[in-house]
Structure formats: C-alpha cells, structure tokens
Copies of this chain bind each other. A is one copy, B any other.
Amino acid sequence: MRVTKAQAEQNRAHIVATAARLFRERGYDGVGVADLMAAAGFTHGGFYKHFRSKADLMAEASASGLSQTAARTEGLDPAEFVERYVSREHRDGRGDGCTIAALGGDAARQPADIKTEFAAGIENLLTALQPQSDTPGDADQRAARTMVIDMLAHSVGAVMLSRACPDGSPLADEILDACRKEILASLAHHNSEQPAVRSPET
C-alpha cells in the first residue's frame, strides 16, 4: 500500500494536526500512539515511518499548535485578543484552543526540546501581540514588551484556573469574568499613561 510522496507528506501533516488536537484535549500522557493513528484514520504500524518516537511527535505537534495560535493572533488588537482568549468558548474548547493554556502545565515536566518549542511559541505570540511597526525609543519598546508578557500570562492563568473548576460551576465563570474585566482595565490604564500598545480605533 504505497502512496504518492505528496500524499504521504499530507498524511504526515494530518497526523501532526490530529496529535496537536488530541494532546490539547487529553494531555501528552492521555493519548497513545495507536489512539492517535486511529483518530487520524490509520493503523499504528505506519507511525514509525513518519516519526522517530512519540517524544518526537510531541515536540512537533506542540510546535504546530503553538504556531497556529500565533498565526490566529497576528494583527489582533490586544483588547480583542483578551476578549476572545478569556472567554467561555475558549475555556470550553480545549481541543481547538490555545496550546499554551492546554498543555503549558504539562510542558513544565517535559524534556528540553518541548520546552524550547514552547519558548519559541510564546516569543512568536508576543511578537504577534506587540506591533513594533512604529519604532519608538528602546525604553518604550521594553515597557511594551513587559506589558504584553504580563497580559499573556494573565490571560493564560485566567483560563487555566477556570478550567480547573468543575464544569459549569459559578466559580469557573466568576474567575473568567473577574480576570477579563481586570485585564481590560489594565490595558486601558496602560494605554492612557503611555500608549506604547495602542488600539487601532483610538
């Protein structure tokens, strides 16, 4: 059952995409190689024709998921990012959501290669959120970067904390609402003081 070289490449990409989603939903340890391949429409045998090990796929799937999040964030207004990120839809859609929020806790226990992918993914997200098109002074650049880093950690923390609470519990929603309100207020506050990161509308 040989297939076209192009088809094989496409199958490989499909396996990576499927893995990225399943890992986000169930965690790295919650998905077996056989599970994964079945979900992608294959049997477990062909796996090692594409990847050297499960750990290899874990790193590649993480990178894929992270770059997808960065791509979807590109050109998004910070406030708009927060509205979408710190939302019930995002919290309840682990599989289709941000890889950092879904697997950040697991990444901390993974080997260096996965952590490196996460660092690169975070760096990309920061760049996507911080439009440095207008090149102001170095001090402003650093202040803007600090602010974006803080906003990202803040948003990630809100989603993760809300997800740790029982589904549909008042506390889960309260956390989300409280954080969204405070993050947006913080954004507005920074904008009024030194508009290093500014909304296009204002």
- Alpha-carbon distance A62/B158, docked complex (angstroms): 20
Task: Give residues in A with beta carbon < 8 Å to B.
Answer: 25-27, 29-30, 94, 100, 102-109, 112, 115-116, 118-119, 122-123, 145-147, 149-150, 152-158, 160-167, 169, 171-172, 174-175, 178-179, 181-183, 186, 189
Query: A119 contacts which chain B residues (CB < 8 A)?
Result: 164-166, 169, 171-172
Asked whether, in the complex, the Cβ of A107 is within 8 Å of the Cβ of B164, the reply is yes
Q: How many copies does the complex hold?
A: 2
How near does chain B come to A4, taking the closest CB pair, in angstroms?
37
- The distance in angstroms between the C-alpha atoms of A54 and B36, with both chains bound, is 25
- A-B complex: 9 closest residue pairs judged by Cβ atoms: A157-B157, A105-B105, A108-B163, A29-B29, A150-B182, A153-B157, A107-B164, A115-B166, A149-B178
CA distance A100 to B189 in the complex (A): 29
Question: Can you pick out 30 interface pairs between chain A and chain B where the beta carbons lie within 8 Å of each other?
Answer: A26-B109, A27-B29, A100-B161, A104-B105, A104-B160, A104-B161, A105-B105, A105-B106, A106-B106, A107-B164, A118-B164, A119-B165, A119-B166, A119-B172, A122-B161, A122-B165, A122-B175, A123-B171, A146-B181, A150-B158, A150-B182, A152-B161, A153-B154, A153-B160, A153-B161, A154-B154, A154-B179, A156-B160, A157-B161, A186-B186
